[in-house]
Amino acid sequence: MAEHESLEFGKADFVLLDNVSLEEFMANLKLRFEKGRIYTYIGEVVVSVNPYRAMNIYGRDTIEQYKGRELYERPPHLFAIADAAYKAMKRRNKDTCIVISGESGAGKTEASKYIMQYIAAITNPSQRAEVERVKNMLLKSNCVLEAFGNAKTNRNDNSSRFGKYMDINFDFKGDPIGGHINNYLLEKSRVIFQQEGERSFHSFYQLVKGAPDAQLRSLHIQRDPTAYTYIKVGGQIKVLYHVQIKRDYYGWQGSRDLWCRHGTAWFVELTENSKLVSILGDLLSTKDENVEKALLYRTVATGRDVIDKQHTHQEASYGRDALAKAIYERLFCWIVGRINDIIEVKNYDVRVHGKNTVIGVLDIYGFEIFQNNSFEQFCINYCNEKLQQLFIQLVLKQEQEEYQREGIPWKHIDYFNNQIIVDLVEQQHKGIFAVLDEACMNVGKVTDEMFLQALNGKLAKHAHYTSRKLSPTDKNLEFDRDFRIRHYAGDVAYSVVGFIDKNKDTLFQDFKRLLYNSSNPVLKAMWPEGKLSITEVTKRPLTAATLFKNSMISLVENLASKEPYYVRCIKPNEVKSPLLFEHERCKHQVEYLGLLENVRVRRAGFANRQIYPRFLQRYKMISEFTWPNHDLPSDKEAVKRLLQGCGFEHDVAYGKTKVFIRTPRTIFSLEEQRAEMVKRIVLFLQKVWRGTLARMHYRRMRAALIIIRAYRRYKVKSYIREVNRRFRNVRGMKDHGKHVKWPTPPKVLRKFEEIFIQIYFRWWAWTLIKDLSPEQLVQIRAKVATLECLKGQRADLGLQRAWEGNYLVSKKDSPGTASSFTLISSDLQRKDKFMRVLFSCNVRKINRFNKAEDRALLITDRHLYKMDPVKQYKPMKSIPLYNVTGVSISPGKDQLVVFHTKDNRDLIVCLQGMVPAGDSRIGELVGTLLSHFKRFKPVRCLKSLSTLLFKSMLSVRFKKIFLKVSYAHQGCMYLLHLSKYSKDSNIMKYYCK
């Protein structure tokens, strides 16, 4: 029941009428039509009035408004009934169907297309390509089937001249995975004849008006449809339709090419013109002589003899028309088969993918009353009788009978049961179809008049059958031609002319052999019976009436097995006006559709019913008394307790096996509570499962940790044992274990290994130096200091030779002046009280005037002296050692040394006088100073000197220093270029050109 429309639009649900009467029903229907509300509910049945105009109520926004909503939440709409069928299919895993009924021109085909559009739009949340493909094919198949199966009639510009039932298969997630189409009784007689004002199938006009000129020339077809006998009645096409027809021609791409080749045979008006026969042979991919023979002769087998019997003019015309109708019908069935091949469910395994469910959509021809009603209208109206009977059985009869069976108090409502009419048509031995088949099987010439006489004889006393012979005063019927049936939708007079031929549906075997022998494989496959020999005796084929009756019975059984939803279409007027509401016309349709009886049953009855176990299975989580399982005496008592707890006991009735719920609102409320509880249950299950997973993960992690710890302990112990084994006798080894290879440690002991190796090498070094003399230890310490500071900075550190330190006392460096230096150093020792000489050597000094002079350098533990060797090493400059702030050395072979002082009067000298000449004393000088300062000034001096000496020359004190030293061996000239000193430099700046 819609709640979102004001009363100015009338009642959105006929169940809400104040008084249930035909007058109020019609008044409400007319009011809503005039207000633009073309849909109205009768409970879960949608009544649709054809608006004869385009309405903006089918867009994406409207789809979103109805998606997932209940019927009562939104105004009445086709989308609401489609969504209800889809939800029922998903929730209860039950097949559903939507039956669209009404007379021709009431809007059934458009309704089916909108339903398909909605179902396609609300599915496919994961945007899978296969689902999109199926949806597109289901939607696009409509335009192909309409082109070949629909035609313009006096009542409807797009009348379905065939019945269509489509099953859409869904997987367990609710996504479409395929489908299947069944077609019923194509009106193939329209191919050769149309009533005044009507047209043949759309495909003819789409071809002649839409195909390119080159294609028409290749098919030998003219652009003017009035040039052809078969379609000239409907050949006068209004200018308004030209654009639509041409656009529709390109809509059926899948079967257009085959249609152009084999669907144009009936454009050729067959005469004895050999050119036309040649054209037909080319179109059918057969030989010309075979075509001519099949058209003009009939091959007959008499015993063992086979003769060719020439046709009369009437027989030839009949054969030509039968061939045209048969080719078109086979082509239409082939198109439906091709569509089914593409959209059918493939590779679906129930054990793997779960059970698939189905939504069926029935769009079938409506009830028809024409000026001349023949065999096709008789079958169409019989089909509508069957569908009306199904509606009566499911909605009216079965509902009332179920109330009585379940013991629910109920006041019986009278309704018209049209089973008597269905029996009149299909009953064995007595029905009209049975009489017609019997007439067709009689030996000898049987006429339509003889068939009518047989009907009069067997059905003379039937209340719903009459003829002119039975009612001589009824001048609306012709003698020996017409009979009338009182249908549920009204009285219809049928002309028996053509009943016998149309029921036999005879096509000469010559045509079947002709088309079977076609060189086109598709056309050949359409006529498998053509391979039979002319002398071969076959079983009599079923008549058209029997085939149609069997298909209708199967269709009704199929629909009855599903949960039905109904769309009842009403045609408001005969002139296709969007404003005119013909009261009597609509009233007649309301009466024969049984809509008023439906309202009465819906008002008096219950909207929903379910057996107790199934009801509990779905809603037991709502009540604490039924979740997870109840302990009450029966499921019925459990359902009572559940509904009482929800406060719905006033809106339900309890039958013997089912619970009956009166209003849909109760169902919707139960669904809302269930949805809320399902969320909580899912959260609880997720919590329990996640806790289980966490505990499982914790146990696995704890077990893994125990294993890892045990394994690590094992690896550590193994490593320690291996180290102990390899180094057990290291003290007794000649090299103290230097050749022993260390085992590979586990990852956890890599740092330990580094420390352990350092400890080993410290011990190894201690074993090497423990027996050295004090003088040797001093030299060793100096060399170690040099190696730590200058390793990698200079190529030659002089580590391989013995360091003498005081080279000026050596006769090798100063053979003639050693005694003089010894006296001077002794005087300085007495004067300055130094303890020992650290280093002495001949040097070359460059003064501020760029003059190079030989000098001597003496470094003691207290002072640094610059001496003049020419004047018996007279001291020229004395610098207290504590005033030296740093020493910089060059990385080259020049052995340049800079002594930095606190007063910024740096001393720059080059060591010289080495014996042998290529020897280097830079390393010895640096090592001696480092060893001395480490010993006596371990903190302050170590920081200043070691930092400076560790870097290469000038790398600490300068940001960028460029040295270029040119050494002239004879002149002993040095040029020093220094630039870009750092801001904090205390070095004296020398500028030399």
Those residues whose C-beta lies under 8 Å from the C-beta of residue 242, and which sit 6 or more positions away, are: 209
**Angstrom distance (rounded) from CA 512 to CA 530:** 5
* CB neighbour burial string for 113-146, b if at least 16 within 10 angstroms, e if fewer: bbbbbbbbebbbeeeeeebeebbebbebbbbbbb
| Residue 597 annotated as binding site | no
What DSSP designation does 392 have? I
Taking only the tens place, the pLDDT of each residue in 779-835 is 888 888 888 888 878 878 888 888 888 888 877 777 777 888 888 889 888 888 888
- How many CB atoms within 10 Å of residue 147? 24
| C-alpha dist (Å) from residue 531 to 287, 294, 327, 516, 824 | 17, 15, 17, 7, 139
**Angstrom distance (rounded) from CA 509 to CA 532:** 9
> Which pTM does this prediction carry?
0.61
**Angstrom distance (rounded) from CA 79 to CA 81:** 6
- Given a contact cutoff of 8 angstroms between Cβ atoms, the answer to whether 323 and 526 are in contact is no
Taking only the tens place, the pLDDT of each residue in 209-237 is 888 888 888 888 888 888 888 887 655 55
- Given a contact cutoff of 8 angstroms between Cβ atoms, the answer to whether 767 and 761 are in contact is no
Those residues whose C-beta lies under 8 Å from the C-beta of residue 56, and which sit 6 or more positions away, are: none
Three-state DSSP class for 301?
strand
* pLDDT > 60? residue 521: yes
Q: Where are the alpha helices (DSSP H) in 344-372?
A: 350-353
Q: What are the residue ranges spanned by the domains of the chain?
A: 420-548, 608-695, 730-770, 774-962
| C-alpha dist (Å) from residue 555 to 167, 182, 567 | 12, 9, 17
* pLDDT > 70? residue 949: no
118-132, 421-435, 675-689: least confident range: 118-132
- Given a contact cutoff of 8 angstroms between Cβ atoms, the answer to whether 803 and 779 are in contact is yes
- Given a contact cutoff of 8 angstroms between Cβ atoms, the answer to whether 837 and 859 are in contact is yes
**Token duo for residue 894:** 């020049």
User: Tell me, what's the pLDDT at 352?
Assistant: 59
| Residue 102 annotated as binding site | yes
User: Tell me, what's the pLDDT at 950?
Assistant: 33
Three-state DSSP class for 345?
coil
Taking only the tens place, the pLDDT of each residue in 266-291 is 444 444 466 888 888 888 889 988 88
Q: Domain 774-962 falls in which CATH fold? A: PH-domain like (2.30.29)
- Given a contact cutoff of 8 angstroms between Cβ atoms, the answer to whether 879 and 901 are in contact is yes
The catalytic residue positions are: 104-105, 109, 156, 159-160, 366, 368
**Angstrom distance (rounded) from CA 189 to CA 322:** 9
Rg (CA), the chain: 56
- How many CB atoms within 10 Å of residue 583? 12
Cis peptide preceding 212, ω within 30 of 0: no
555 vs 982, residue with greater confidence? 555
Per-residue pLDDT band for 467 (boundaries 50, 70, 90) equals very high
**Angstrom distance (rounded) from CA 762 to CA 770:** 12
Beta-strand relationship, 45-49 and 563-570: parallel
Taking only the tens place, the pLDDT of each residue in 80-128 is 999 989 988 887 788 899 988 888 788 888 898 898 888 888 876 655 5
11 vs 603, residue with greater confidence? 11
Taking only the tens place, the pLDDT of each residue in 365-419 is 777 788 889 998 899 889 888 888 887 777 766 677 777 787 877 666 676 788 8
In the predicted model, what is the mean pLDDT of residues 512-525? 90
Per-residue pLDDT band for 336 (boundaries 50, 70, 90) equals very high
Residue where the block lists tokens 């094919």: 137
In the predicted model, what is the mean pLDDT of residues 980-993? 29
Three-state DSSP class for 859?
strand
User: Tell me, what's the pLDDT at 694?
Assistant: 94
Per-residue pLDDT band for 254 (boundaries 50, 70, 90) equals very low
- Given a contact cutoff of 8 angstroms between Cβ atoms, the answer to whether 1 and 13 are in contact is yes
**Angstrom distance (rounded) from CA 976 to CA 890:** 11
138-142, 366-370, 951-955: least confident range: 951-955
- How many CB atoms within 10 Å of residue 247? 11
364 vs 970, residue with greater confidence? 364
Bridge partners, 487 (sequence order): 490
**Angstrom distance (rounded) from CA 617 to CA 547:** 43
Residue where the block lists tokens 């005469």: 271
**Angstrom distance (rounded) from CA 339 to CA 336:** 5
Taking only the tens place, the pLDDT of each residue in 640-668 is 888 877 877 777 888 888 888 877 677 77
Three-state DSSP class for 880?
strand
User: Tell me, what's the pLDDT at 773?
Assistant: 83
Report the CATH architecture of 608-695: 2-Layer Sandwich (3.30)
Phi, psi of 201 (to 5 degrees): -65, 150
If you average pLDDT over every residue of the chain, what do you get?
80
- Given a contact cutoff of 8 angstroms between Cβ atoms, the answer to whether 330 and 507 are in contact is no
- Given a contact cutoff of 8 angstroms between Cβ atoms, the answer to whether 144 and 129 are in contact is no
| Residue 108 annotated as binding site | yes
User: Tell me, what's the pLDDT at 33?
Assistant: 94
The one-letter amino acid at 909: V
* CB neighbour burial string for 421-458, b if at least 16 within 10 angstroms, e if fewer: bbbbbbeeeebbbbbbbebbeeeeebebebbbbbbbeb
Largest Cα span, the chain: 172
What DSSP designation does 867 have? E
* pLDDT > 80? residue 984: no
Q: From the centroid of its chain, how far is CA 234? A: 47
**Angstrom distance (rounded) from CA 815 to CA 830:** 25
**Token duo for residue 640:** 């009572």
Those residues whose C-beta lies under 8 Å from the C-beta of residue 939, and which sit 6 or more positions away, are: none
Q: Where are the alpha helices (DSSP H) in 413-543?
A: 419-426, 432-441, 448-458, 499-504, 509-516, 521-525
46-50, 94-98, 849-853, 899-903: least confident range: 849-853
- Given a contact cutoff of 8 angstroms between Cβ atoms, the answer to whether 495 and 481 are in contact is yes
Residue where the block lists tokens 């109206």: 381
User: Tell me, what's the pLDDT at 450?
Assistant: 92
Rounded to the nearest 10 degrees, how much is the dihedral formed by the CA atoms of 515, 519, 525, 531?
60
Percentage of residues of the chain with pLDDT beyond 90: 19
Q: From the centroid of its chain, how far is CA 911? A: 84
The C-alpha angle 326, 329, 333, rounded to 5 degrees, equals 135
Per-residue pLDDT band for 689 (boundaries 50, 70, 90) equals very high
The size of the chain, in residues, is 993
User: Tell me, what's the pLDDT at 966?
Assistant: 29
| Residue 103 annotated as binding site | yes
Taking only the tens place, the pLDDT of each residue in 874-897 is 898 899 988 898 898 888 778 889
Residue where the block lists tokens 């009533």: 195
User: Tell me, what's the pLDDT at 693?
Assistant: 94
Q: From the centroid of its chain, how far is CA 636? A: 44
252-261, 293-302, 698-707, 973-982: least confident range: 973-982
Three-state DSSP class for 344?
coil
**Angstrom distance (rounded) from CA 856 to CA 909:** 10
Domain 420-548 CATH (choose: 3.20.20.80, 3.40.190.10, 1.10.3860.10, 1.20.58.530): 1.20.58.530
**Angstrom distance (rounded) from CA 106 to CA 866:** 126
Containing 69, the helix (H) or strand (E) segment is none
The one-letter amino acid at 607: A
81-90, 251-260, 495-504, 769-778: least confident range: 251-260
